[in-house]
Amino acid sequence: MILRFAKLSLLVLIFIACKKDKLTDDKEILVGTWSWYKTEKVSSLCNPPSFETELTPTTENKNFEIKFFEKGKVEFYENNSNTHEYRIVFTLFGGSGCDYLDGYTYYGIDLDNNPELDLDGCICSDTLIVIRGFPYSDPVNACENYTSYFVRK
């Protein structure tokens, strides 16, 4: 009896630990490769006045890509090198988070089902906006804010 319970508990744990969402239906819009073209960095939010800086592949001498796969995985690249791979678990897809942008849909993702590894933003057919997450994110320093823009490759 105890052995059966242990096996069942192990199966449930594996199922929960391996949770990921496949990119089907409306979420298919994410599938593909997205190339970074700029990030808007707002600094000094804690000590106004704040100021904005635009980061680009030219100013940073870097390039970034995000690759979403239908099977529910995402890969991050810096200068053509794979830096991270994660499982995708949606916290939200749709809703009013991007209503201020015509034609965009809000997405919220916990990478590897970890609420501390966010990838949130807005998407339309040819543009992916990352409000929180890769490539620039500084949750420790709330005095800076990054919004990154990617185009479909």
d(CA 136, CA 152): 19
- Whether residue 75 is contained in a domain is answered as yes
Q: Residue 57 domain-assigned?
A: yes
Helix (H), strand (E), coil (C) string for 33-100: EEEEEEEEEEECCCCCCCEEEEECHHHHCCCEEEEEECCCEEEEEECCEEEEEEEEEEEEECCCCCCC
8 belongs to a structural domain: no
Residue 66: name the closest of 76, 57, 56 by CA.
Answer: 76
Q: Residue 2 domain-assigned?
A: no
Residue 16's pLDDT band, with cuts at 50, 70 and 90, is very low
In angstroms, the CA 141 to CA 45 distance is: 10
Q: What is the pTM of this model?
A: 0.85
Length of the chain: 153
Amino acid (1-letter code) at residue 145: N
Residue 11 pLDDT > 70 = no
> 111 and 87 in contact (C-beta within 8 Å)?
yes
Domain CATH number, residue 50 = 2.40.128
Residue 5 included in any domain = no
Give the Cα separation of 36 and 44 in Å (integer): 24
> In angstroms, rounded to a whole number, what is the distance separating the alpha carbons of residues 38 and 48?
24
SS3 146: strand
Q: What is the pLDDT of residues 109-137, one digit of tens each?
A: 999 999 989 999 999 999 999 999 999 98
Whether 13 maps to a domain, the answer reads no
Assess if residue 101 is contained within a domain.
yes
- DSSP β-bridge partners for residue 38: 149
In a domain, 12, yes or no: no
User: Residue 140, Cβ neighbours under 10 Å: how many?
Assistant: 7
> How many domains does the structure of the chain reveal?
1
What residue numbers bound the domain in which 34 lies? 20-152
pLDDT in tens, 33-65: 999 999 999 988 788 888 899 999 999 999 999
